[in-house]
Amino acid sequence: MPPDYSGKRFGILGIGKSGIAAARLIQRLGGIALLSDVKSSEQIGPVVEQLTLDGFTLELGGHRRVLTEKFDFVVVSPGITLDRDWIDTWSSRGIPVISELELASLCYNGKWIAVTGSNGKTTTVTLITDILRSAGIQVQSAGNIGKAWSDFLPQDGNSVFVIEVSSFQMEHTHTARPSVAVFLNVLENHLERHGDLITYGLLKLKLAANCGPEDVIVYNADDTFLSEHCRSLKATKVTFGRTCADFVVHNGVIYRQHSQSAEKVFSGSEWKLIGDHNLLNASAALAVSQCFGINDSIAQRSLRAATPVEHRIEFLGMIDGVSYINDSKSTNLAATVTAISAVKGSIILLFGGRPKQENFSSLGDLLGKDLKGLIVFGEATEKVKNELPDALSIEYCSNLEEALHAGRRLASEGDSILLSPGCASYDQYQNFEQRGIHFKTLVRNLK
pLDDT of 65 > 80? The answer is: yes
Order of strands across the sheet with 112-116? 139-143, 160-164, 112-116, 180-183, 216-220, 236-241, 247-250, 253-257, 262-267
Residue 286 has φ and ψ, to the nearest 5°, of: -65, -35
β-strand 371-377 against 97-99: which pairing, if any?
unpaired
How does residue 289 score in pLDDT terms, banded at 50, 70 and 90? very high
* Other residues' Cβ atoms within 10 Å of the Cβ of residue 76: 28
pLDDT of 123 > 70? The answer is: yes
Cα–Cα distance between 25 and 106 in angstroms, integer? 11
When the pLDDT of each residue in the chain is averaged and rounded to a whole number, the result is: 94
For the chain, which domains are there? 9-95 (3.40.50.720), 102-304 (3.40.1190.10), 314-446 (3.90.190.20)
Can you give the pLDDT at residue 447?
A: 78
Of residues 151, 146, 138, the one with CA closest to residue 111: 138
Amino acid at site 302: S
Q: What is the pTM of this model?
A: 0.89
Mean pLDDT for the stretch of residues 70-86 = 90
Q: What percent of the chain has pLDDT over 90?
A: 82
How does residue 195 score in pLDDT terms, banded at 50, 70 and 90? low
Mean pLDDT for the stretch of residues 30-37 = 97
pLDDT of 191 > 60? The answer is: no
